[in-house]
Structure 1
Amino acid sequence: MDLWYSWEFIVIVLAGFSMSRSFCQSEKAPYYTFVHEATSAPHVLYYDYIIIGGGTSGCPLAATLSQGASVLVLERGGSPYGNPKIMNIANFASSVSDTSPNSASQQFISEDGVYNARARVLGGGSALNAGFYTHASADYVKKAGWNPELVEKSYAWVENKVAFEPPMLEWQSAVRDGLIEVGVLPYNGFTYDHIYGTKVGGSIFDKYGHRHTAADLLEYAEPRNISVYLHATVHKILFTETGKPWPRPRAYGVVFEDSLGLKHWAYLRRSSMNEIILSAGALGSPQLLMLSGIGPANHLQAHSISVVVDQPMVGQGMADNPMNLLFIPSPIPVEVSLIQVVGITKFNSYVETASGLSFAYSWVHKFIREYELHLNETGQPSAVTAEAMSRAAETLNSLVAETLQGGVILEKVIGPVSTGELKLRTTNPDDNPSVKFNYFKEPEDLHRCVQGMRTITEVVNSRAFSKFRYKDMPVQALIDLMVNLPVNLRPRHFSTAMSLEQFCTDTVMTIWHYHGGCQVGKVVDNDYKVLGVDKLRVIDGSTFIDSPGTNPQATVMMLGRYMGKRILYERLIQGRK
């Protein structure tokens, strides 16, 4: 089966829609005088802070630091502004599945056989995601050792630019009411807070369907103190040698390449307070630490990389919250919506939904042909499964001649407990590293998935959701449908008595909430300073032990602001000494 076709389908199903109609934008894109192509950068640059990665954490961090110091941001991707694939809610699916060489979405397949994507664009993952905005729980904040008052102020600073209350139309309302009906209680209304029960969360899409990304937070920046270079790929961080006058390696600069392949050197200005900060994301930050000589010595030496610090924990603790879903064809038209409602269960699985799926009739027939081909190759696994799938195919075939309408209800496992590792494939920073997440390696995660899928089944069968399902299409037919779709590259186990455990394992997908690789207490300390070296921090989702809240983006943006404020305060105190 064609890989593009497989990946495109996964993204469309996950997105809940792929539409041709457009939404008007509520405002013009901000004009930043300090954002330039890296080809215009000087050969040598000097700044107080060098931030590698203008993503979900890098942008708020840079904007904050620019209020008290000079800041250089090096972003390997381009600008999201003026790109309708990114800025228009109607194009979410095509944006995240874009496989063109210079797209904002860089595709990769994990060693687990799960399709995935990483951002390469100013604003990072906030320029590609489904837009859900919600805080970390109070317990998460406490365990992280963050100051709750500064956390709340930092969230508010972010929300002033990028967060909105979403409209609640029929599909989202039906799932909300279904969750309440099946006991995911209490109902907490609209809130950013992470609390048990069913709630409506925020969105970074405004009422016009216009996306607001972390790049919008650069509006807070002091233009005279900041430079942002696009298509600037950092190849390595430079360190001093150990010995006098410094007992440990000190980061003092970086080497980066522009889109023409020309090298540039950026150095820290002479001051004990200045630093390099990695904000390249859960894949990019551990990858660049390794490329710069910080990582497992044997692994680095195998790639002919000089070891600066033998740090075996770099790349460890990689995790991706497993997602499983049911696609539900609807007998009536549905609104276009991404994630708005969430059921936060006490068994630690989150149930969410999206709607408005629409694609060409010919494509539906392509799916049916793929399924028939599967039956011809493998033989009918059972009369029951074949009958169920036949009914599903007939239903698909009988829908409106132009489109297939419907949506998805999904569950995401909290944590997760299962983790894996990241390794280098090559020494080219543009290449994807090798990453394995070990989905459901720990039984606890699999148990949570099963409970989540049972809740989804109850919601689909609820009275509140009844008008959005075909009465002659039981949930088992929806399960069989998912098992037969190319949602990943993992083996399938076709059986009449397929357990939900097997369903979770066979049909697992990403929800793009991967984290780890530079975790606090293992690679960085509680101030996010890299252990074993000086003048280098990592501030992004790679430092997380668990994914915060039902969606991490709000907390990643908050962390950039939070640490920016703390670093400026430290700078002020040091300057007074």
Structure 2
Amino acid sequence: MDFHIFPFVLVAIFILHGSCYSHKGSYEFMKDATLAPTMARFDYIVIGGGTTGCALAATLSQNARVLVLERGGSPYENPRAMDIDNFYNTLFNITPDSWSQPFISEDGVFNVRARVLGGESVLNAGFYSRAEESFVEKSEWEMEEVEAAYEWIERKLVFKPQVGGWQSAFRDGLLEAGVLPYNGFTLDHIVGTKIGGTTFDPAGHKHSAADLLAYANPHMIDVYLHALVHKIIFTTRGGDQRPKAYGVIYQDADGVFHKAELAENAMNEVILCAGALGSPQLLMLSGVGPKAHLESHGVNPVVLDLPMVGQGMADNPMNSVFVPSPAPVEMSLVEVVGIPKFHSYIEGLSRVSLANNLNSRFFDGVLNLLNKTSFSTTSITNILKSIDLHFMDEMEVDGWIVTKVDGPLSRGYLELRNKNPDDNPSVTFNYFQEPEDLERCVKGLKTVMKVIDSNAFSRYKYPNATARELLNLMLSRPINLRPRHESALTNLTQFCIDTVITIWHYHGGCQVGKVVDKNYKVFGIDSLRVVDGSTFFKSPGTNPQATSLMLGRYMGQKILRERNALRKKNEDYSIIKDETNIFSSSSK
């Protein structure tokens, strides 16, 4: 995009957004699943109206009949929740009907997953940055089409942030720490320090993937909310007994079950966009996955023994430090990022504000989840006793600087915990299993310490506080359920292990080449694709949001081209057949 015309683009975007909110921020084709028919047929059934699913569905609806099934509600029901001042309150609000569903990995790290139309793009910090060129090349995507798909997203969702004092000092601190060169404002992934895009508009309101449904053909799409998909249903055909997806079973909020099927056409498909946890989980619940594991949970029938479903799970480890400031700070989410050459990323946020007792409610929710993990309640209680729970009463943190490990190289796995599709599966990420990830973390933390101690950042740090002392304060915070080691006070390697948290960039479980082919079709099954972050072999760029959005548009365009090509081929065949019949009749 030519950012010289960015002010004019902003005006156009506000006009488009105005039409989106003309019906109180809703769409006529968006309804609660209780209003859905008991049975209906569509060309495409998209499971999951998240970051990728909304872009995909909006694109497909231009030339096909599309159904979107989203287990959560609408972000437009409470638009204030998406204002920047409510970011933390929305992310960490874990009531039974909230947009944020908590889970604890078997590694002892707190995490959340989205259950709302728009998915993670509703909950995240809004940072927008494209994937590195090597990611696009390895994915075997067409670069021109990728560029066009990114631009399609950016016209609707992306803004240039208004960088204030704290972020400016952080930026200059990165440069002083040697994260060079300075690349200014850019959406591209470039080594050095840069200002990225944001999905928060100048008024501080978040724009999510749900807004992309404004691009949809309203006469060709149905979006059902609070629609919990229980399983994909399959049929077999011919002597090879190759399974074919032909529909889904889903449940509404009143407990009533509905069925949606594909219309009779070889081009029609079920497309999973349920995310890195939901997509492998739903494949398993539908009988596609490692046979022994499915049988142990009573999944019947096992449609296809596909051992790599749930494998290759990864979560980029993040380590962080809180920096109290003697000077007032503005609230900012991620706007500036440092991209060093050693495969770690440095980001910062300022004035982290939490609603009264929100942290306490979060940890109450965490304790309620403990009986679903492999951690014993006794061991967790001992860990929580050993750290400073008064932190939960703190209302604000002036500055927060984090380092995220690129990749990562460490891999884990996902398994079923039960057969309830609304429950979290069991997931193990194996943080720092690979030594290279640990080395990258240490290098990242050393860079963070240089930023904190830089002259450029000195206004926002008390002069008598060293970066190492601030770092060590994290060891007394209830940021995870992992044990603390005294050696972490002096050893950065142990500090990385003890204080690891998530940056919510988990991925894998249905990876390309292992579960799906390069066109995202599930191996061994017809009419079924997976198109979301579960297919990623690493987290693209500094943040995956831009690429997850782009993938939906990119694959939607590709699928429609395939559909049109097959339709034309069938039409040409029919013409040839008719001409042959006419010739045969005339020769007689």
2: CA distance, partners of 1:439 / 1:117: 17
1: CA distance, partners of 2:485 / 2:52: 40
1: CA distance, partners of 2:87 / 2:558: 35
Instruction: Structure 1 unaligned segments of length 5 or more: list them.
Output: 1-25, 365-376
Match of 1:171 among 161, 166, 169: 166
Q: How far is the alpha carbon of 1:143 from its aligned partner?
A: 0.8
Matched ranges for 1:399-414 at <5 A = 404-414=396-406
Deviations 1:201-227 (A, max 9, x none): 000001111000000000000000000
Change (3 A) 1:358 1:258: closer
Q: How far is the alpha carbon of 1:479 from its aligned partner?
A: 1.6
Match of 2:282 among 282, 285, 288: 288
Aligned to 2:379: none
Deviations 1:33-60 (A, max 9, x none): 1000000000001000000000000000
SS across alignment from 2:436:
helix
Q: How far is the alpha carbon of 1:247 from its aligned partner?
A: 3.7
2: CA distance, partners of 1:243 / 1:361: 62
SS across alignment from 2:51:
coil
2: CA distance, partners of 1:167 / 1:497: 37
Pairwise CA RMSD of aligned residues? 2.2
Deviations 1:538-564 (A, max 9, x none): 000000001001000110000000000
**What fraction of aligned residue pairs are identical, expressed as a percent?**
60
Aligned to 2:63: 68
Write the letter of the residue equivalent to 1:509. Answer: I
Matched ranges for 1:405-444 at <5 A = 405-444=397-436
The two structures have a TM-score, normalised by structure 1, of 0.88
Aligned to 1:372: none
State whether residues 30 and 216 of structure 1, in contact with CA within 8 Å, keep that contact through their aligned partners in structure 2. no
2: CA distance, partners of 1:86 / 1:360: 12
SS across alignment from 1:223:
coil
State whether residues 60 and 218 of structure 1, in contact with CA within 8 Å, keep that contact through their aligned partners in structure 2. yes
Q: How far is the alpha carbon of 1:497 from its aligned partner?
A: 5.0
1: CA distance, partners of 2:161 / 2:25: 23
State whether residues 351 and 396 of structure 2, in contact with CA within 8 Å, keep that contact through their aligned partners in structure 1. no
Match of 1:446 among 429, 438, 450: 438
Deviations 1:467-523 (A, max 9, x none): 000011111221221011000000000248531001110000000000000000000
Aligned to 2:363: none
Instruction: Structure 2 unaligned segments of length 5 or more: list them.
Output: 1-16, 360-381, 570-588
Aligned to 1:556: 548
Match of 2:124 among 122, 129, 144: 129
2: CA distance, partners of 1:541 / 1:315: 13
Aligned to 1:315: 310
SS across alignment from 1:356:
strand
SS across alignment from 1:171:
helix
State whether residues 82 and 90 of structure 2, in contact with CA within 8 Å, keep that contact through their aligned partners in structure 1. no
Match of 1:482 among 440, 462, 474: 474
1:542 aligns with 2:534: yes
The two structures have a TM-score, normalised by structure 2, of 0.86
Match of 1:300 among 282, 294, 305: 294
SS across alignment from 1:250:
strand
Write the letter of the residue equivalent to 1:268. Answer: L
2: CA distance, partners of 1:230 / 1:510: 28
Write the letter of the residue equivalent to 1:344. Answer: I
Aligned to 1:223: 218
2: CA distance, partners of 1:362 / 1:576: 61
Match of 1:502 among 494, 508, 511: 494
Change (3 A) 1:65 1:403: closer
2: CA distance, partners of 1:87 / 1:264: 31
**Total equivalences in the alignment:** 523
SS across alignment from 2:188:
coil
1: CA distance, partners of 2:296 / 2:193: 50
State whether residues 88 and 353 of structure 2, in contact with CA within 8 Å, keep that contact through their aligned partners in structure 1. no
Change (3 A) 1:457 1:39: same
Of residues 89-98 and 508-517 in structure 1, the stretch that sits farther from structure 2 once superposed is 89-98
Change (3 A) 1:497 1:270: closer
Aligned to 2:511: 519
Q: How far is the alpha carbon of 1:357 from its aligned partner?
A: 2.7
1: CA distance, partners of 2:274 / 2:249: 15
Matched ranges for 1:43-58 at <5 A = 43-58=38-53
